[in-house]
Amino acid sequence: MGLLAEKRVLLGITGGIAAYKAAELTRLLRASEAQVRVVMTRAATAFVAPLTFQALSGHPVHLDLLDATEESAMGHIALARWADLILIAPASADFMAKLRAGLADDLLSALCLAAETPIALAPAMNRAMWANPATCDNVRCLKSRGFRVFGPAEGEQACGESGVGRLLEPSDILRSAETLFALGGLTGHSVLISAGPTREAIDPVRYIGNRSSGKMGYALARSALAAGARVTLVSGPVSLQAPQGVKLVRVESAAQMYEAVVGLASSHDIYIGAAAVADYSPAKRAERKIKKRDEAISIELTRTRDILAAVAQLSNPPFTVGFAAETDHLEDYAKAKLADKKLDMVAANRVGKPEGGFDSEDNALHVFWRDGEGYLPMAPKSLIATQLIELITEHYAAKNSAQNPG
Ligand code: PMT
């Protein structure tokens, strides 16, 4: 899988002759396994019919800000929250001026104003329009606000003139988009991640499990890979495909996860415990299927060993990051875990609600370290993973330089 695999890309298309190239870009994004939703301005539809993008993206194209059905289904706020990346190609001079001014009078500009995810622009326009001081000023201002600008290229233009202003080739736009997910800060370092649930066998057919899907841990593995790390993923039973390039170790029970993680931890620089490990396991596993009886039965449960605490107590522990899944008192319990288990960082998520946590596409994390904290608001797990890996990279580097000054 590539860097865009499973990333949610909202492709914005504004009015200009280069709009036809967005069709090839949509095809390339889909071929890279990105999920694509297309938003077109009305001017863009004068150049290419929305049906083209519906066929290529596999989803209806979003056009209007005040469409009653669209607002109730996936309006501008929902679209802005859905995306890991908003990519506007082609971005016209007029649209960039609107972005700079903060206008929100159509769907695309409104969702850009509401967006908290990165926005990348691939400008396309006549060379004189590109060179115009107003456009230069707008682009400079947008860059200073964090917008990424891909291109434009130099060459023949549709109007017959030649110069800088051509839309980058779709394959170049794709490569530029990929770099946004390639952080690079962990090149040469190794990350061990646990993910998914554990299953504690009661008899040959029954077990105690939990609702973890593995999505959070697998997203972290993908982001750590994108950051350049060598990644080992110790996974409980899930139905996800491991990212290509990750070393996958499959386990089932908490005891097997303990052996795998504690055995591997000393040879890794960072450990992230995203798995939902059972705290209790049946004291005895019945050899045969337990037969139904009239009376109630009870199963004795014993405590499992704490993997995270064991890793943090190794003589040469990796930078150790725990998760805390709490229904209440999130902050207090998370801080207690940080201190009691001697962790470097703890990422707390609220569970038991429809949004976020177990088996959900999105998550929000309150992250604590010894002398600080940070909040990652509700977003797709792929984006939360990228942001958490960035935080971990920063604090891991700071700890290393404090331990090895000079
Ligand atoms: O998998 P998903 O569906 O995407 O859901 C993600 C998630 C909600 C499972 C994930 O974000 C998460 O919160 N993982 C930790 C779940 C958990 O078991 O939390 P806890 O508060 O019970 O445990 C705290 C920490 O101790 C965790 O890092 C856990 O891995 C670790 N632990 C727990 C028990 C044990 N025996 N050994 C451990 O290492």
Tell me, what's the pLDDT at 73? 57
Looking at the predicted structure, is the pLDDT value of residue 353 above 90? no
265 lines ligand 1 (CB under 6 A): no
CA of 160 to the centre of ligand 1 (A): 60
Q: How confident is the model at residue 77 (pLDDT cuts 50, 70, 90)?
A: confident
Among 202, 231, 280, CA closest to 392: 231
Q: What is the pLDDT of residues 291-336, one digit of tens each?
A: 999 999 999 999 999 999 999 999 999 999 999 999 999 999 999 9
Cβ of residue 306 lying under 6 Å from some atom of ligand 1:
yes
333's enclosing H/E stretch is helix 330-340
Contact between residue 12 and residue 108 where contact means Cβ atoms under 8 Å apart = yes
pLDDT in tens, 26-69: 999 999 999 999 999 999 999 999 999 999 999 999 999 877 66
Choose one of 212, 213, 323, 351 to mutate for the ligand 1 pocket test, by most ligand atoms within 8 angstroms of C-beta: 323
CA of 265 to the centre of ligand 1 (A): 17
* Closest-lying ligand 1 atom to the alpha carbon of residue 321: 28
Residue 41 Cα to ligand 1 middle (Å): 44
Q: Where are the beta strands (DSSP E) in 157-240?
A: 162-166, 190-195, 200-201, 207-208, 230-235
Angle made by CA atoms 379, 120, 82, in degrees to the nearest 5: 25
Q: Looking at the predicted structure, is the pLDDT value of residue 100 above 90? A: yes
pLDDT at 80 exceeding the cut of 60: yes
260 in ligand 1 pocket by Cβ < 6 Å? no
Peptide bond into 318 cis (omega under 30): no
Who has greater pLDDT, 144 or 33?
Answer: 33
Distance between CA atoms of residues 255 and 354, nearest Å: 30
Q: Which helix (H) or strand (E) holds 203?
A: none
The pLDDT value recorded for residue 68 is 61
| Residue bearing the bigger pLDDT, 6 or 270 | 270
Higher pLDDT, 92 or 183: 92
CA 82 to chain centre: 11
Q: Is a pLDDT exceeding 90 seen at residue 176?
A: no
The pLDDT-based confidence of 263 (bands split at 50, 70, 90) is very high
SS3 at position 321:
strand
Give the contacts of 325 (CB within 8 A, at least 6 positions apart): 276, 348, 349, 351, 357, 358
Residue 337 CA, closest ligand 1 atom number: 24
Mean pLDDT of the 274-283 span: 98
268 CA distance to ligand 1 middle (Å): 20
Does residue 325's CB lie within 6 angstroms of at least one atom of ligand 1? yes
Closest CA to 153 of 140, 168, 139, 171: 168
What number does the ligand 1 atom closest to the CA of 261 have?
39
The angle at the Cα of 382, spanning 381 to 383, to the nearest 5 degrees, equals: 90
pTM of the model: 0.66
Check pLDDT > 90 for residue 72. no
Q: Which of 112, 136, 141, 159 is catalytic?
A: 159
Domains of the chain, first to last: 8-179 (3.40.50.1950), 190-285+297-403 (3.40.50.10300)
CA–CA separation, 209 vs 206, rounded Å?
A: 9
Nearest to residue 366, comparing CAs of 400, 332, 318?
332
**pLDDT above 90 as % of the chain:** 74
Q: Which residues contact 210 (CB under 8 A, 6 or more apart)?
A: 197, 198, 276, 278, 358
Task: Report whether residue 357 contacts ligand 1, using a CB cutoff of 6 Å.
Answer: yes
* Mean pLDDT to the nearest integer, 68-85: 77
- Per-residue pLDDT at 71 exceeds 60: no
Bigger pLDDT: 180 vs 322: 322
Catalytic, 159? Answer yes
From CA 146, how far away is CA 124, in angstroms rounded?
A: 19
Residue 96, pLDDT > 90, answer yes
